[in-house]
């Protein structure tokens, strides 16, 4: 379905972006640049949060266990 | 007037949900987890605070230097400071959202005033801890707010001087001050967890953690803000007691009263704040009239029908407020199923919010709501079935 | 066709949706009974509605995560699922009992879901076995009369 593909695209894009951000973290470490490393770390966590949301919209993960089913 | 305003606010609050629930599945709507968000930020504050404590020196000469050292020399030091600061701002935002949402949706009635009162204490102490945090840095801003704080305290008749000694360790700014403030900051933060016990104690399954997507996204946001050039924490100029401070950057979440003092006399700010907070404490006791639709129906406290109860414990497991306890049965029940019971359900009046969930849980007709009996429901069903079809 | 819907006090607002007898204007075969919390419904009462002659019955609670009483709608959802299994053993189609979750402003979504429920009911063989025929005949005083 159209929306499934859109979410899948978003997940792939975010995952690719996360890879890039991980590289930036390493770059920040090499250059002793905390701002770069820290910023990339923050951005990667936001990306992970969005990936989890897209997976939920796709139906691949379900509600919190505490909420049943 | 108050009631109508509240009803309007309730409808607007829930209207917000409609938009949010288009993006998020309803059980990931952040507004349903405002308590969890607050707790999450508190957790981040505690962890980052412990790490900051490794670097902080609590003396008039050493404080600013240690903070500056952390910010400029330690790798990721300014990130750690930023995490602590932005988590604190996030904490206040989440707590205020929590307050307003629970206020507008009537989630403080009956026995839920316990969480409300403890929540008000948590809010006040949280704000106080934040102010202490800003003081600990001992830069120009810290000096300014300390002087204003002392001025507000000294304007209180009778108790003023004693309060200054309590919060500062001596009559004014001295070597005793920063260790005292450090203690107030960390000790009060630990005390928050005791208040949280009170806050959670009457709630079954409190939602302590928000959904994973929010944990990740908010942690990431806090770290990101700490790293970006516009929002990165920096070290201001050091404090110089005796030299008046002209201006300082304002944090709207914790330092608003201090900004007000530049426009109003300190006593007015102090009294105004106190009145506002006292009004907050009173909220659960301002009765709203019952309007069953979108109001809380006062259906009466759940009553156990002793003769029918078999001690199956289903109501005990289902009550969201821990209002039902199982007691050893003092005498056998009347029905066959109840004759051999070991336990009897008992409803604690002080905890019952008259919701009726236990009625739905009971398979043995041993619970009733006084103003909405099974007979009433059966009658409504019969009426519905017998009603003439609507004339087209 | 007769359908009885139980809507909790905090779920979708039906003020503008009902006529004088408590029927939905949009779906006149549906009678709405308002209850304090969706968790208040005993599964027995849903069966009772079917036994009394309703073709279907539903419970509407708040959106999951926002129940005023925190867990009422989750508990009711579980109970309706358990009820569905019991009804199946008694040869009553479990599609006749449903659980919905709609917030204050979700009138449109609520009416659409009710409409879909009604269409589903229409397509069920009429009637499914009389709901919950008692296995044990009441000791018949009529027999001796």
CATH of the domain at C38: 3.40.50
Q: Is residue A63 part of a domain?
A: no
Mean pLDDT of B358-383: 90
Q: What is the number of domains present in chain A?
A: 1
Q: What is the pLDDT of residue B390?
A: 59
Q: Is residue C133 part of a domain?
A: no
- Rounded to two decimals, what is the model's pTM? 0.88
C69, B357 Cβ separation under 8 angstroms: yes
Best of B21, B86, B224, B226 to disrupt the A interface by mutation (most A CBs within 10 Å)? Answer: B224
pLDDT category at B222 given cuts 50, 70, 90 is very high
* Mean predicted lDDT score pLDDT of chain B: 88
Chains touching A (at least 3 CB pairs under 8 A) are: B, C
* B123-132, B288-297, C43-52: range with lowest mean pLDDT: B288-297
Half-sphere exposure of B88 (CA within 13 A, CB side): 26
Q: What is the number of domains present in chain C?
A: 1
Interface contact A46-B217, CB threshold 8 A: yes
- Nearest chain C residue to A67 by CA distance is C74
Beta-bridge partners for C57: C4, C97
In percent, the amount of chain B with pLDDT more than 70 equals 96
| Residues of chain C positioned with their CB less than 8 A from the CB of A69 | 77
Q: Is residue C99 part of a domain?
A: yes
Interface contact C103-B389, CB threshold 8 A: no
The string over B213-239, giving b where at least 16 C-beta atoms fall within 10 Å of a residue's C-beta and e elsewhere, is bbbbbbbbbbbbbbbeeeebbebbebb
Q: What is the pLDDT of residue A2?
A: 78
Mean pLDDT of B358-362: 93
pLDDT at B211 over 80: yes
Give per-residue pLDDT as tens, B226-275: 999 888 887 778 888 878 887 788 888 888 888 888 888 878 888 888 89
| Residues of chain B positioned with their CB less than 8 A from the CB of C13 | 293-294
Nearest C-alpha neighbor of C111 from the set C9, C46, C34, C25: C25
Sign of CA dihedral B78, B84, B87, B89: negative
d(CA B298, CA B352): 11
Q: What is the pLDDT of residue B97?
A: 93
Judged by DSSP in three states, C24 sits in: strand
Mean pLDDT of B101-116: 87
Best of C61, C63, C70, C74 to disrupt the A interface by mutation (most A CBs within 10 Å)? Answer: C74
Helix axes B212-227, A34-58, angle to 10 degrees: 160
Nearest C-alpha neighbor of C37 from the set A18, B2, B360: B360
Q: Is residue C119 part of a domain?
A: yes
In percent, the amount of chain A with pLDDT more than 90 equals 68
Q: What is the pLDDT of residue A68?
A: 59
Q: Is residue C144 part of a domain?
A: no
Mean pLDDT of B137-160: 86
Question: Which range of residues forms the domain containing residue C91?
Answer: 3-124
pLDDT at B392 over 50: no
Q: What is the pLDDT of residue B347?
A: 94
Q: Is residue C145 part of a domain?
A: no
pLDDT at B326 over 60: yes
Select the residue of C40, C64, C106 nearest B356 (Cβ to Cβ).
Answer: C40
Q: Is residue C83 part of a domain?
A: yes
* ipTM of the shown complex: 0.91
Half-sphere exposure of B381 (CA within 13 A, CB side): 24
Best of A56, A64, A68 to disrupt the C interface by mutation (most C CBs within 10 Å)? Answer: A68
B198, B188 Cβ separation under 8 angstroms: no
Q: What is the pLDDT of residue C144?
A: 41
Q: Which residues, at least 6 apart from A66, have a Cβ–Cβ distance to it below 8 Å?
A: B205, B207
pLDDT at B298 over 80: no
Q: Is residue C36 part of a domain?
A: yes
Q: Is residue C74 part of a domain?
A: yes
Question: Which range of residues forms the domain containing residue A17?
Answer: 2-57
Going from the N-terminus, what domains does chain B have, and what CATH number goes with each?
A: 2-285 (1.20.810.10), 303-386 (3.30.70.20)
Size of interface A-B (CB pairs under 8 A): 78
Size of interface B-C (CB pairs under 8 A): 145
Residues of chain C with pLDDT under 70: 126-145
d(CA B125, CA B326): 37
Interface contact C2-B390, CB threshold 8 A: no
pLDDT at B284 over 90: no
H or E element in which residue C31 lies: strand C30-35
Give per-residue pLDDT as tens, B73-98: 899 999 999 999 999 999 999 999 99
Q: Is residue A39 part of a domain?
A: yes
- For chain B, where are the alpha helices, taking DSSP H only? 2-23, 34-53, 62-72, 77-104, 113-136, 140-154, 160-168, 177-200, 212-227, 256-260, 266-282, 314-318, 336-339, 357-361, 374-386
Mean pLDDT of B136-151: 88
Q: What is the pLDDT of residue B288?
A: 61
């Amino acid at each position: 379905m159209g929306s499934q593909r859109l979410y899948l695209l978003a997940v792939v894009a975010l995952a690719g972006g996360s890879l890039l951000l991980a590289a930036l973290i390493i770059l920040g470490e090499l250059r002793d640049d905390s701002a770069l490393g820290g910023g990339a770390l923050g951005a990667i966590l936001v990306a992970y949060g969005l990936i989890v949301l897209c997976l939920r919209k796709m139906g691949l993960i379900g509600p919190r266990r505490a909420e049943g089913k | 007037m108050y009631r109508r305003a509240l009803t309007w606010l309730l409808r607007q609050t829930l209207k917000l949900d409609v938009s949010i629930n288009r993006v998020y599945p309803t059980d990931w709507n952040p507004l349903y987890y405002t308590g969890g968000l607050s707790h999450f930020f508190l957790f981040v504050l505690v962890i980052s605070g412990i790490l900051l404590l490794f670097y902080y020196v609590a003396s008039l000469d050493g404080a600013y230097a240690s903070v500056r050292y952390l910010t400029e020399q330690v790798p990721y030091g300014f990130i750690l400071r930023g995490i602590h600061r932005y988590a604190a701002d996030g904490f206040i935002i989440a707590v205020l959202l929590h307050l307003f949402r629970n206020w507008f949706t009537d989630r403080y009635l009956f026995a839920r005033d316990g969480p409300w009162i403890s929540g008000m204490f948590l809010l006040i102490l949280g704000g106080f801890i934040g102010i202490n945090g800003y003081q600990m840095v001992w830069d120009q801003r810290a000096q300014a707010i300390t002087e204003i704080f002392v001025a507000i305290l000294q304007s209180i008749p009778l108790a003023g001087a004693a309060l200054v000694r309590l919060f500062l360790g001596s009559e004014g700014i001295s070597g005793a001050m920063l260790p005292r403030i450090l203690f107030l900051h960390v000790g009060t933060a630990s005390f928050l967890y005791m208040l949280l016990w009170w806050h959670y104690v009457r709630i079954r399954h409190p939602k302590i953690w928000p959904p994973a997507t929010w944990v990740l996204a908010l942690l990431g946001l806090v770290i990101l803000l700490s790293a970006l050039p516009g929002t990165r924490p920096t070290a201001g100029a050091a404090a110089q007691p005796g030299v008046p401070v002209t201006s300082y950057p304002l944090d709207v979440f914790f330092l608003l009263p201090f900004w007000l003092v530049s426009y109003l006399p300190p006593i007015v700010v102090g009294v105004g704040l106190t009145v506002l907070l006292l009004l907050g404490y009173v909220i659960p006791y301002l009765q709203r009239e019952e309007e069953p639709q979108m109001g809380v129906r006062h259906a009466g406290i759940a009553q156990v029908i002793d003769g029918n109860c078999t001690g199956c414990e289903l109501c005990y497991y289902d009550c969201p407020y821990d209002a039902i306890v199982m007691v050893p049965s003092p005498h056998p029940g009347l029905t066959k199923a109840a004759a051999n019971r070991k336990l009897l359900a008992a409803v604690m009046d002080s905890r019952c919010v008259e919701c009726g969930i236990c009625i739905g849980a009971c398979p043995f007709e041993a619970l009733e709501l006084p103003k909405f009996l099974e007979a009433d429901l059966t009658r409504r069903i019969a009426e519905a079935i017998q009603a003439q079809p609507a004339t087209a | 066709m007769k359908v009885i819907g139980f809507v909790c006090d905090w779920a979708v607002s039906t003020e503008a949706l009902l006529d004088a007898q408590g029927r939905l204007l949009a779906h006149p075969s549906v009678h709405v009974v308002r209850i304090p919390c969706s968790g208040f419904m005993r599964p027995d009462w849903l069966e009772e509605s079917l036994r009394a002659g309703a073709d279907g019955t539903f419970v509407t609670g708040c959106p999951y995560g926002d129940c005023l009483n925190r867990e009422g709608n989750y508990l009711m959802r579980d109970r309706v699922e358990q009820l569905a299994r019991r009804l199946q053993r008694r040869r009553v189609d479990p599609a006749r009992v449903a659980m919905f979750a709609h917030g204050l402003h979700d009138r449109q979504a609520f009416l659409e879901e009710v409409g879909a429920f009604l269409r589903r009911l229409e397509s069920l063989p009429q009637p499914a076995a009389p709901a919950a025929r008692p296995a044990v005949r009441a000791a018949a005083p009529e027999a001796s009369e």
